Structure 1
Amino acid sequence: MILQKISICNAKKVYESLGCDKGGISILSKKSSLHTILIKNMHVGAANILKQDSLSIGADLAVPTGVITAKEKYVDGILIATTKQLEVLSRKELAQPFGLKEFAKNLKEFIPSKKYLTKIMGVLNANEDSFFQNSRFNEEDASFRINKMIEDGACIIDIGAVSSRPGSKAIPWEEELKRAKPIIDVIYKEKLFEKAKFSLDSYEPKVLEYALENGFSIVNDITGLANDEVCKVASKYNAQVVIMHMQKDPTIMQENPVYEDLIQEIDDFFKERIKKAKSFGIEDIVLDVGIGFGKTLEHNLKLIKNLEHFKHFGYELLMGASRKSMIDKIIETPTEQRLPGTLAIHLESINYGASIIRCHDVKEHYQAIKVQEAINTQEIL
């Protein structure tokens, strides 16, 4: 007998290649995915019960010393469990005291739903002050640039007419529409929206309405639906909405950003904005943690490593770190030379749960993602 340690990225594919029974593949897949969940402010009684219940099914709960003697009334803990074990605990704890009934209901949110295929969102800017010069274009070469991106592998094109780089200032909506309108008109006239989906990177209701009226179907809002009027417009056209997290606004967002609990604060933000979106009838939602929008390098790296946490909402996750300054903070690199760093971030993000990659370099991303998919789905003999 030969023993070999393997890393399973696509459990279902591995068990299918092994020739397992179809009914057993689903069960085995759930046993192969391990989750680590932080639980805060847990009653010590709940901690002791959950510890024993976790151990009884093969999971575990890490708790501080002194829990068994109830040294502190409330404690934090870390639950380590497979998908299958999460399902068992979400039922088992419904009958337990000390707040575990509510815990069981909330735990269901962390049980992974369907897996999404990776999509590439190509970036094109209609403003002269975007941070990456090669992403800028005008209506004269719009058709060529868009068709080239689609040919290279983009299934979404994100058009922007206002810079949101650190320190940038907002412009009147009339100026934004003046910049975006000729390109939107080209997309509509040539029916390019039949070849790919189009997104407008904007938070101006009137500009968004013009785009949605003319072939666009996605609202990419860096303010995360702060404006009720944006919600109304998105709902009116049944648009998909990208809710992005940003601390403060672009003019000051990078001036010493501070969080008490980065992951929890962004989680709370998404929870509140998802609730708001649904109140306006918006159901098609994508979440974006906002790399570089009010975050330090440490914050950005932590978000990438913990991206999977936000999958519990059940929506697709977008990652947009294309050529951003976080790469320069790791290794000094000018914007035009940051493609390798961008690919490293985006490929890792896919492994942590991102399914939409917003990037400037579509062809290179398409190739890298296809190679990554081949590696991740490779049959292990």
Structure 2
Amino acid sequence: MLINCKGTLVDLSKPKVMGILNVTPDSFFDGGKHKDEAKMLAHAEKMLYERADFIDVGAYSSKPNAEFVSEKEELQRIVPVVDLLQKHFPEALISVDTFRSAVAKSCVESGAAIVNDISAGMLDDKMLETVGKLKAPYIMMHMRGTPQTMVKLTQYDDIVKEMLSYFAERINTARNFGINDIIIDPGFGFAKTLEQNYEVLNKMELFQMTGLPLLAGMSRKSMIYKLLGNTPQEALNGTTVLNTIALNKGANILRVHDVKEAKETIDIFSKMKYA
């Protein structure tokens, strides 16, 4: 199970870790933490030292009811960060977390390797065409509406069946635009209640029928801390538990805030799987 990242073939048959670098002031866990170049570089260096396989850079918070950010502001936030990381860590594989085609294009042209789109092309009708031309791997996530409206769009008759239908249509459309490397993200926390998140996780192995790699992004999310009655800052243990379950359900990439712990989880999981 290979993806082509700027000419480097990455084998996802052994799970990989995608470390999160938010450059937003309002992300739910680390908003405002990486305000200047020194802090961004230090955090990226720490994640790479802890064996992150990818660094996912985001400049638009997608938490529920997140504030709207203009395309111009998103570009001003994210492109310099991609340039900075490429300058200091030229071997790093950078993913850009955006649903805008212009942002994706500018970041890939600056050296990013992967486009990570929470909307699977539904919020920008040029996104799939753009990614197809860029020949970059594409992470497509399941979501309804926008970050501002998704909390009201949680009515499903059969959530997993409807998600599989959604992905079938999105994958077919992406293929028609020439996108070769596609990764599926169930979108935990996006247009889903707490109970629905756990139903999707419980049935996550069904998404393997797409034949595509799976990404699990549950790091410190409300499906953990609301269930346990604590906070995002106290949700690392719960994150590790859910990441372990996701690996057992077929996850190929764990998107996390805490790289060291995720890599250790994969190391132990792999030892048990292949012992």
Task: Give TM-score scaled by structure 2 length.
Answer: 0.91
Aligned partner of 1:238 among 123, 130, 135: 135
Is 2:81 the counterpart of 1:201?
no
Structure 2 segments unaligned to the other structure (5+ residues): 1-10
Structure 2 distance, partners of 1:127, 1:331, is 26
1:298 deviation in Å? 1.3
Is the partner of 1:133 in helix, strand or coil? coil
User: CA separation in 2, counterparts of 1:272 and 1:140?
Assistant: 42
What's 1:216 paired with? 112
Aligned match of 1:81: none
Q: Residue 159 of structure 1 aligns to which amino acid in structure 2?
A: V
1:288 matched to which residue of 2?
185
Counterparts of 1:376 and 1:206, CA distance in 2: 42
Q: Note the alpha carbon deviations across 1:224-243, whole angstroms, 9 max, x for none.
A: 11223111221122000001
Instruction: Report how far residue 116 of structure 1 moved.
Output: 1.6
- Counterparts of residues 1-381 of structure 1 (less than 5 Å): 116-133=13-30, 136-137=33-34, 138-190=36-88, 192-194=89-91, 196-226=92-122, 227-255=124-152, 257-378=154-275
Q: Secondary structure at the match of 1:130?
A: coil
Q: Distance in 1 between matches of 2:180 and 2:80?
A: 30
Q: Which has the higher contact order (CA 8 A, sep 6+)?
A: 2
What's the CA shift for 1:143?
2.4
Q: Letter of the aligned partner of 1:180 in structure 2?
A: I
Residue 187 of structure 2: SS of its match in structure 1?
A: coil
CA contact (8 A) 1:187 1:215 kept: no
Amino acid at match of 2:45: N
Whose Rg is larger?
A: 1
- For the 8 Å contact 1:139–1:182, the answer to whether it is kept is no
Distance 2:68 2:95 in 1: 19
Indicate the percent of aligned positions where both proteins have the same amino acid.
37
Rounded to whole Å, the distance in 2 between the matches of 1:175 and 1:347 is 37
* TM-superposition CA deviations, 1:98-132 (whole Å, max 9, x none): xxxxxxxxxxxxxxxx9821000000101110111
- Asked if the contact 2:15–2:252 (Cα under 8 Å) also holds between the matched residues in 1, the reply is yes
Q: How many residues get paired? A: 263
CA–CA distance in 2 between the matches of 1:257 and 1:136? Answer: 31
Q: Please state how far the C-alpha of 1:133 moved relative to its aligned partner.
A: 2.1
Kindly indicate whether the alpha-carbon contact (under 8 Å) linking 1:257 and 1:296 is maintained by their aligned counterparts in 2.
yes
Question: CA contact under 8 A between 1:165 and 1:250: conserved in structure 2?
Answer: yes
SS across alignment from 2:166: helix
Following the alignment from structure 1 to structure 2, what is the Cα–Cα distance between the partners of residues 319 and 304?
A: 9
CA–CA separation in structure 2 for the residues paired with 1:219 and 1:115 = 16
